[in-house]
Amino acid sequence: MRKAVVFSAALAATCASAVAVPMTAQAAAPGPTATPAPTTSAPDTGTDAPTGTPSAPTEPTGAPTAPRDVPSGAADGTVSATAVMVTPELPKNATYSYGPGALQQVDAYWTDDGRGTAPRPAVLIVHGGYWLQGDKSAWEYFARRLVADGYVVLSANYRLAPAAQWPAQRTDVLSALNFLKTNAARWNADPERVVVLGSSSGGHLATQLGTYGDGGERVRGVIALSPPNDPELAYTDGAAPTANHQQRKLRRAVVELLGCDPAEAVAGSRCWKLLEDAKPATHADAADAPMLVMHGTSEFVPVTESRGLATALRAAGIEATIKTIEGSSHAAALLDHPDTYPMIAEWLDEHLAPATSGDGGTGTGREDDEGGEHETPGDLPGALPTQRSDD
Residue-by-residue DSSP string for 279-331: -GGGG-STTPPPEEEEEETTSSS-THHHHHHHHHHHHTTB-EEEEEEBSS--G
Q: In what order do the strands lie in the sheet with 221-225?
A: 92-97, 105-110, 152-156, 120-126, 189-199, 221-225, 291-296, 320-325
Strands (E), the chain: 92-97, 105-110, 120-126, 152-156, 189-199, 221-225, 291-296, 320-325
User: Could you give the CA distance from residue 191 to residue 163 in angstroms, rounded to a whole number?
Assistant: 32
Assigned domain for 186 exists: yes
> With contact defined as beta carbons under 8 Å apart, do 150 and 121 qualify?
yes
Q: DSSP code of 55?
A: P
- The secondary element (H helix, E strand) that includes residue 180 is helix 168-182
Of the listed ranges 17-21, 159-163, 267-271, the one predicted with least confidence? 17-21
Res. 85: pLDDT tops 80:
no
User: In this structure, which amino acid lies at residue 114?
Assistant: G
Range of the domain at 325: 10-34+48-230+279-379
Assigned domain for 245 exists: no
Mean pLDDT of 157-183: 98
Assigned domain for 241 exists: no
The pLDDT value recorded for residue 113 is 82
Assigned domain for 41 exists: no
Tell me the per-residue pLDDT of 126-139, one tens digit each, with 9 for 90 and over.
999 999 999 999 99
Mean pLDDT of 93-99: 98
User: Could you give the CA distance from residue 91 to residue 98 in angstroms, rounded to a whole number?
Assistant: 21
Res. 13: pLDDT tops 50:
no
pLDDT confidence tier of residue 111, bands split at 50, 70 and 90: very high
User: Could you give the CA distance from residue 104 to residue 204 in angstroms, rounded to a whole number?
Assistant: 18
CA torsion sign, 248 to 252 to 257 to 261?
Answer: positive
Name the 3-class secondary structure at 257: helix
The pLDDT value recorded for residue 186 is 96
> With contact defined as beta carbons under 8 Å apart, do 65 and 19 qualify?
yes
Res. 326: pLDDT tops 50:
yes
Res. 80: pLDDT tops 80:
no
**Is the pTM here over 0.85, yes or no?**
no
Of the listed ranges 141-145, 182-186, 369-373, the one predicted with least confidence? 369-373
User: Could you give the CA distance from residue 337 to residue 358 in angstroms, rounded to a whole number?
Assistant: 30
The pLDDT value recorded for residue 230 is 98
pLDDT confidence tier of residue 369, bands split at 50, 70 and 90: low
Of 66, 64, 2, the residue nearest 341 (C-alpha): 2
User: Could you give the CA distance from residue 205 to residue 227 in angstroms, rounded to a whole number?
Assistant: 8
Res. 362: pLDDT tops 70:
no
Mean pLDDT of 240-268: 97
What is the tally of structural domains in the chain?
Answer: 1
The pLDDT value recorded for residue 302 is 97
User: Which residues, 6 or more positions from 347, have their beta carbon under 8 angstroms from its beta carbon?
Assistant: 221, 223, 292, 321
Rounded to an integer, what is the distance from CA 319 to the centroid of its chain?
A: 18
Cis peptide before 91 (omega within 30 of 0): no
- Please give the share of the chain, as a percent, with pLDDT higher than 70: 68
| CATH number of the domain that residue 108 is part of | 3.40.50.1820
pLDDT confidence tier of residue 11, bands split at 50, 70 and 90: very low
Rounded to an integer, what is the distance from CA 61 to the centroid of its chain?
A: 28
C-alpha dihedral (288, 290, 296, 298), degrees to nearest 10: 40
User: Which residues, 6 or more positions from 121, have their beta carbon under 8 angstroms from its beta carbon?
Assistant: 1, 150, 151, 152, 189, 190, 193, 194, 195, 220, 348, 352
User: Could you give the CA distance from residue 300 to residue 318 in angstroms, rounded to a whole number?
Assistant: 27
pLDDT confidence tier of residue 74, bands split at 50, 70 and 90: very low
The pLDDT value recorded for residue 364 is 53
Tell me the per-residue pLDDT of 185-235, one tens digit each, with 9 for 90 and over.
999 999 999 999 999 999 999 999 999 999 999 999 999 999 999 999 999
pLDDT confidence tier of residue 24, bands split at 50, 70 and 90: very low
Residue-by-residue DSSP string for 195-233: EEEEETHHHHHHHHHHHSSSHHHH-SEEEEES----HHH
Of 169, 52, 175, 34, the residue nearest 107 (C-alpha): 34
Res. 123: pLDDT tops 60:
yes
The pLDDT value recorded for residue 87 is 63
> With contact defined as beta carbons under 8 Å apart, do 14 and 67 qualify?
yes
Tell me the average pLDDT of the chain: 78
Assigned domain for 40 exists: no
User: Which residues, 6 or more positions from 74, have their beta carbon under 8 angstroms from its beta carbon?
Assistant: 16, 80
